[in-house]
Chain A
């Protein structure tokens, strides 16, 4: 069964303290790995798509990387406005665009 697992479940950082979020996946025939940001009571907001091992994408203080078994979301010098839940989702061999989501990592950045 396809599965996506994220760790840690919760992370508290001081402003400026860099860290990484982990997403481990067992998705048959992975065709894409997606990162989303979700604010409380809102829909997931698209951040990155990674298609192959070794690929990296960057956006402001965020950088996503992909290996054959996991993906990392690196946050460099975070600010309080980066506080949110970060979701990882895999798309595999179902060929219909169905995403398998992890449970998310809730990040709190304190000033």
Chain B
């Protein structure tokens, strides 16, 4: 099965600090997503990204969040000023097409203290 790689696996940060979560996508899979899962809750959609632009974002994805592919390869999620409620597992997902299965990374556990 194709593999999406996420780093770091665990990040602890002080409230108000910036964090960048990174994802190495699958070759030729051009649709990118970030999801998050607060402990014990559903997996929630954050943002979809295709052709170097955001195609859809959720209400959670406010001005504190941004995404980019800085080197045309890796895909990143930046949280500018973290809040306690941002503590969650963040998953990067990658798909070949809009209608095809998305493959998920193993996640970054973000803990804001």
Taking beta carbons and an 8 Å cutoff, which residues of A are in contact with B? 31-32, 34, 36, 41-46, 49, 51, 87, 89, 91, 94-104
Query: Chain B interface secondary structure, helix, strand, loop or mixed?
Result: strand
Q: Is A97 within 8 A of B91, CB to CB?
A: no
Using A46-B1, A49-B100 as known contacts, say yes or no to A97 and B48 having CB atoms under 8 A apart: yes
Is residue B24 within 8 Å, beta carbon to beta carbon, of the partner chain? no
Q: Cβ of A101 and Cβ of B48 under 8 Å apart?
A: no
Closest-by-CB residue of B relative to A42 is: B106
Indicate if B103 sits at the interface (CB-CB under 8 A): yes
- Shortest beta-carbon distance, A90 to chain B, in Å? 11
Interchain nearest-CB distance for B6 vs A (Å): 8
Q: How far is the CA of A101 from the CA of B36 in the complex (A)?
A: 11
With a cutoff of 8 Å between Cβ atoms, the chain A residues found around residue B103 in the complex are 46
Contacts A96-B55, A97-B33 known; 18 new A-B pairs at CB < 8 A: A34-B101, A42-B106, A42-B107, A43-B4, A43-B91, A45-B1, A45-B104, A46-B102, A46-B103, A51-B99, A89-B43, A95-B98, A96-B48, A96-B56, A97-B95, A97-B99, A99-B35, A101-B44
B52 to chain A, nearest CB (A): 14
CA distance A96 to B47 in the complex (A): 9
Q: Report chain B residues within 8 Å CB of A31.
A: 99
